[in-house]
Chain A
């Protein structure tokens, strides 16, 4: 029965072709794991970094140094849990040298204690660490000079799983894998069949064409399972990433996303007849999404003018949807989840429709 089913035979053939190539298995499963481990380690949560600033040598330096020492003693004293305020290190240098270091980005801030109670700060306000250093130094200077804060404040420190970089990264990598799988596993694969004349060889037989495409899609979804499992397991067991929403919903979003990218892959493969063409088209599609879709850093950082474009990209929606469910525990009824599913489904339907219309079999 299955022996004589073109769909099943083509599906098996696709699985064999994939699992017998160790290099491909590495790129699909090994590489994202490696990436997650390396980036997860590099961006792991650490105690607040030291604030090191340059001070221009001059009359007010000693007063400043005393104030900093008092601050550092206090910061070191608050044991148990991460410190609320970071220790500050002063680096006294001649003015010209300090300014040169600021210009070349070696120090975030140059403090110049002036005559009397006059202090000037030189820094680039577009550098976040410069602005933070200015606040930290100014804060202790003002307190040392006797400033009293009229409002009592309390710092409640939150560093828990779910808000770290690795938690942000893993859904991004899952999305990236779905994109790579669709474009390589469907687009590049089909173009290779065309180049090798195998596509022609298939259509010269009575093979049902829907079985052929169905088998490729079924294989794609099959490869997705270990794909998703490896990254989720890595997050769960190696980094204690929480999965706050339903696992079924994670799978559903990933499947709809994978279909959208399979459709894009098919669209690329419509006419392309050389490796160069298909590689160019794949880069054209993947590069913007690598950069804009919020895989490695939040896409909110891009200007508002391009946000509608970014939100329309399938990878943005896939990664965003996955983060909502995994990290925020959103359910199917959540507006963001529904929007992600709708946009991904629209991509899937649209690309398949166009691809099947334009596909060149011979």
Chain B
């Protein structure tokens, strides 16, 4: 292809985006530097309102940065917008495609926009919707509609596919089916840029992730890297039977415990070796005379990374919106009748 074919898929330098707000300017993206390699699946992670969607929309050419440089496949949006559009695919959050069109008709329309691309049947096969090819869009389930949106992104056989929260509001089975689509794309050597606030999704799909909070990248690396930075691989979570709260520092000094935090409903310890930390914890509680109400152990996740970096849970500000989005997807059909 062109001389840039060995460069990064996406290069971003000191990207800023400000919106005029009511009182002061709202800074959605606050100086992001990023390089996404060809063939990798890259995840932008963060709570709602962190600046993920704004960043991705700038990369997709749907939004203009206030300042900073963006190169997609070595091209600039200012100079060669259509050359970029020919080579990328975009799947937005919750697109309302025409209800009375079949999947085949819809994809035929989108296929006509590209000079090169997949055949309509191939695109349908990529998202495993062969049996629904002639069904009207309105008759598909939420998960199937989302897979159609991904097929629309794939129809031009893009070198980079952008997926903005592809599984928000979907049931577990539909999520796994979409993950298979992404893994298949990765195996074909295509670049995928995915935003999500599901940590398990990022761990499962992404080669590297950038954690975004308040318009800034606060951590960047492979999921395993970021988890390793916490020092321990396990988390012990427990709650005590009724009584005075205990200072979590009392647990931090226990054997193999790396960090201790008080949670809304108990305590959370990051530990290196649970077989050493657990007996120590039980002894300590015995000494305090406080019986356990609950005790669980699990592997460290990206969620813990986020908590360690920001002191907040992703869910703290995510849940109401994510929930509304999920219901909105289903409610929307009824609302339009």
Contact = CB atoms under 8 A, between A and B. Distances in A.
Interface in B85-99: 85-86, 88, 90, 92-98
B98 A13 contact: yes
Contacts of B185: none
Contacts of A4: 111-112
Contacts of A13: 98, 101, 105-106, 109
B148 to A, nearest CB: 11
Contact of B93 (A192, A197, A203): A197
Contacts of A10: 109
Interface string A1-41: 00111101110110011001100000000000000000000
Nearest to A14: B98
Interface in B9-63: 57, 60-63
A198 B97 contact: yes
A195 interface: yes
B330 to A, nearest CB: 15
Interface residues of A, number: 26
A361 to B, nearest CB: 9
Contacts of B98: 13, 16-17, 198
A16 B95 contact: no
Interface stretch (A144-152, A204-212, A299-307, A328-336): A204-212
A13 B110 CA distance: 11
A206 B105 contact: no
Nearest to B57: A362
B193 interface: no
A201 interface: yes
Given A9-B109, A203-B62, A206-B85, A195 B114 contact: no
A74 interface: no
A197 B92 contact: yes
A192 to B, nearest CB: 8
A171 B86 CA distance: 48
A259 B101 CA distance: 27
A196 interface: yes
B173 interface: no
A200 interface: yes
Contacts of B96: 192, 195-198
A3 B113 CA distance: 10
Contacts of A206: 82, 85-86, 113-115, 156
Contacts of B63: 362
A342 B100 CA distance: 39
Contacts of B108: 3, 9
A23 B93 CA distance: 29
B101 A17 contact: yes
Contacts of B236: none
Interface in B109-133: 109-115
Contacts of A196: 95-97
A130 B294 CA distance: 92
24 contacts: A6-B112, A8-B112, A9-B108, A10-B109, A16-B101, A20-B100, A195-B96, A196-B95, A198-B96, A198-B98, A200-B62, A200-B92, A200-B95, A201-B92, A204-B85, A205-B90, A205-B110, A205-B114, A205-B156, A206-B113, A206-B114, A206-B115, A207-B113, A362-B62
Interface of B: 57, 60-63, 82, 85-86, 88, 90, 92-98, 100-101, 105-106, 108-115, 152, 156
Given A9-B112, A12-B105, A204-B85, 9 more contacts: A3-B108, A4-B112, A13-B98, A13-B101, A16-B101, A197-B96, A204-B90, A205-B85, A206-B113
